[in-house]
């Protein structure tokens, strides 16, 4: 408390964030997460910005499964996994995730951030090379920083540049090389070209790793993920992902792959060794989610129907979107102040969505990002589309206006 300059320095930085329009306020929700949420002031809003792809976050069946596991296994373990923090429900979830992803074994973490933070350092050292997509998630970037391996970066989704980096790492005489990419990039909904990445990995003798946080549970015919979508199940060395998005939405993460990799992580991965075990009710609810989506593709199918409908209709109204098939739909407004005004107007019209502008996305690429959910009804989507049309007309930004 004796260094006043420290606190005034922080306040000045916070003030700058506010005046630059980069301050992130938190919206307070007074209800469960869902297709509709009730905000603190009692207004009901249609929610178009959650990672709640399968609609399971506020879902009754998921909540009941968590309650049943809470009752059976108790609230928590007060332990890391290797001391006395492993219950049957954790082992069962690891096995079910492996079956679901088509891998040998899986290790649970408190978050995907921890899975990515703890995956590189135990497996690679200064003799090795990590070749990472430029738009990979912050947790991958941090995980790579914690590891002594040489770092190579390729332009987002650019296979020619990836090959250049593979050549550079090979010429530098690196022992092991690993290509690392998000399965799906959350700002654009871009799907990584895993078929090409696997072919390049085979050509240069490299390993592959994908982060499936925006894919597990709904990408591919049976929702296994981007590797299923791209036809490369069984050809990816390491898969990380979250339980905090489509797969239930509470929290928790995992790394999945060959048993030698997972066993090494259990022995050496710091966020696993030095952090508490995943709460058993989350493990129990996750098991119920995996069971449900393995038995039926209904939620996944509804999500993709909603996505196709929204993508078609929003373009028909006269908006520009980034083309694609993923439930992340970037509606391009290009100009940062317009994106801000637009999101604020949509909020007044009862639609919750988020605007993104520089430096989160490149200059001149400001947008609002829509995320579809299996929980959205056609009626809700039509209400949202009407609000888009109205706000678009008011701001004079529709193509056919």
Pair of tokens at residue 155: 């332009």
Least spacing, CB of residue 239 vs ligand PLP, in Å? 12
How does DSSP assign 27-77, residue by residue?
Answer: PPB-S-SSSEEEBTTS-EEEE-S-S-TTS-SS-HHHHHHHHHHHHHH-S--
Q: State how far the Cα of 308 lies from the Cα of 303, in Å rounded to an integer.
A: 9
Local structure of residue 192 (DSSP, 8 states): P
Among the listed residues 90, 96, 214, 367, the single contact to ligand PLP using CB under 6 A: 214
Burial label for 401, CB within 10 Å (0-12, 13-18, 19+), is exposed
Pair of tokens at residue 170: 């090979």
Least spacing, CB of residue 209 vs ligand PLP, in Å? 12
How does DSSP assign 118-183, residue by residue?
Answer: TTSTTT--TTSEEEEETT--HHHHHHHHTS-SEEEEE-TT-HHHHHHHHHHHHHTT-S-EEEEEES
In the complex with ligand PLP, the residue whose CB is nearer, 105 or 182, is 182
Q: State how far the Cα of 150 lies from the Cα of 126, in Å rounded to an integer.
A: 6
In the complex with ligand PLP, the residue whose CB is nearer, 108 or 112, is 112
Least spacing, CB of residue 24 vs ligand PLP, in Å? 15
In the complex with ligand PLP, the residue whose CB is nearer, 103 or 286, is 286
In the complex with ligand PLP, the residue whose CB is nearer, 201 or 246, is 246
**Which residues in 96-115 contact ligand PLP (CB under 6 A)?**
111-113
Q: Are 135 and 284 in contact (CB under 8 A)?
A: no
In the complex with ligand PLP, the residue whose CB is nearer, 112 or 285, is 112
- CA geometry: angle 63, 64, 67, nearest 5 deg: 90
> Binding mask 341-370 vs ligand PLP (x if CB under 6 A, - otherwise)?
------------------------------
Interacting span for ligand PLP (CB under 6 A) from 161-169, 171-179, 207-215, 341-349? 207-215
Helix (H, G, I), strand (E, B) or coil at 371: strand
Q: State how far the Cα of 160 lies from the Cα of 340, in Å rounded to an integer.
A: 36
- Catalytic residue ranges: 186, 214, 245
In the complex with ligand PLP, the residue whose CB is nearer, 103 or 371, is 371
Least spacing, CB of residue 126 vs ligand PLP, in Å? 25
Pair of tokens at residue 73: 């296994």
Helix then strand count (H, E) for the chain reads 15, 16
The position carrying tokens 């593709």 is 297
Among the listed residues 143, 248, 253, 271, the single contact to ligand PLP using CB under 6 A: 253
In the complex with ligand PLP, the residue whose CB is nearer, 188 or 211, is 211
**Which residues in 127-186 contact ligand PLP (CB under 6 A)?**
137, 139, 182, 186
Pair of tokens at residue 122: 């135990």
Least spacing, CB of residue 346 vs ligand PLP, in Å? 23
Q: Indicate whether 217 belongs to the interface with ligand PLP (CB under 6 A).
A: no
Q: Indicate whether 81 belongs to the interface with ligand PLP (CB under 6 A).
A: no
Least spacing, CB of residue 45 vs ligand PLP, in Å? 22
How far lies 251's CA from each of 41, 247, 248, in Å? Answer: 27, 9, 8
Q: Indicate whether 242 belongs to the interface with ligand PLP (CB under 6 A).
A: yes
In the complex with ligand PLP, the residue whose CB is nearer, 87 or 242, is 242
Among the listed residues 121, 211, 228, 237, the single contact to ligand PLP using CB under 6 A: 211
Least spacing, CB of residue 216 vs ligand PLP, in Å? 10
Interacting span for ligand PLP (CB under 6 A) from 161-169, 198-206, 210-218, 327-335? 210-218
Among the listed residues 244, 327, 330, 392, the single contact to ligand PLP using CB under 6 A: 244
Contacts with ligand PLP: how many residues (CB under 6 A)? 14
Q: State how far the Cα of 245 lies from the Cα of 184, in Å rounded to an integer.
A: 13
Report the interface residues with ligand PLP, using CB under 6 A: 111-113, 116, 137, 139, 182, 186, 211, 213-214, 242, 244, 253
């Amino acid at each position: 408390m004796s260094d006043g300059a420290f606190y005034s320095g922080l306040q000045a930085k916070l003030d700058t964030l506010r005046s630059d329009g980069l301050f992130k306020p938190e919206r307070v929700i007074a209800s469960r997460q869902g297709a509709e949420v009730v905000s603190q002031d009692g207004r009901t809003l249609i929610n178009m910005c959650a990672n709640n792809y399968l609609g399971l976050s506020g879902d009754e069946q998921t909540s009941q499964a968590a309650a049943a596991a809470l009752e059976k296994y108790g609230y928590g373990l007060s332990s890391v996994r290797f001391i006395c923090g492993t219950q049957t429900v954790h082992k069962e979830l690891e096995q079910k995730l492996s079956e679901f992803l088509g891998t040998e074994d899986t290790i649970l973490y408190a978050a995907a951030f921890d899975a990515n933070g703890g995956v590189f350092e135990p497996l690679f050292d200064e003799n090795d090379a990590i070749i990472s997509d430029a738009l990979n998630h912050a947790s991958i970037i941090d995980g790579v920083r914690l590891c002594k391996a040489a770092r190579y970066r390729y332009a987002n989704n650019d296979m020619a540049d990836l090959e250049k980096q593979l050549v550079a790492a090979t010429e530098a005489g690196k022992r092991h090389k690993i290509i690392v990419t998000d399965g799906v990039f959350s700002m654009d909904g871009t799907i990584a070209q895993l078929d090409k990445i696997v072919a390049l990995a085979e050509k240069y003798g490299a390993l592959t790793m994908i982060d499936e946080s925006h894919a597990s549970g709904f990408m591919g015919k049976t929702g296994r993920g981007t590797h299923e979508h791209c036809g490369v199940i069984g050809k990816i060395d390491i898969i990380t992902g979250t339980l905090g998005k489509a797969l239930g939405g509470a929290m928790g993460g995992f790394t999945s792959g060959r048993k030698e990799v997972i066993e090494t992580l259990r022995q050496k991965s710091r966020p696993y060794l030095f952090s508490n075990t995943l709460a058993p009710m989350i493990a129990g609810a996750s098991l119920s989610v995996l069971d449900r989506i393995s038995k039926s593709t209904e939620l996944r199918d509804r999500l993709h129907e909603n996505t196709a409908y929204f993508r078609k209709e929003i373009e028909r109204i006269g908006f520009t979107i980034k083309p694609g098939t993923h439930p992340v739909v970037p509606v391009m407004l290009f100009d940062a102040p317009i994106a801000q005004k637009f999101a604020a107007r949509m909020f007044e019209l009862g639609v919750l969505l988020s605007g993104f502008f520089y430096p989160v996305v490149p200059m001149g690429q400001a947008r609002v990002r829509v995320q579809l959910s299996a929980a959205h009804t056609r009626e809700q989507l039509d209400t949202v589309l009407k609000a888009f049309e109205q706000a678009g007309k008011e701001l004079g930004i529709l193509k056919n206006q």
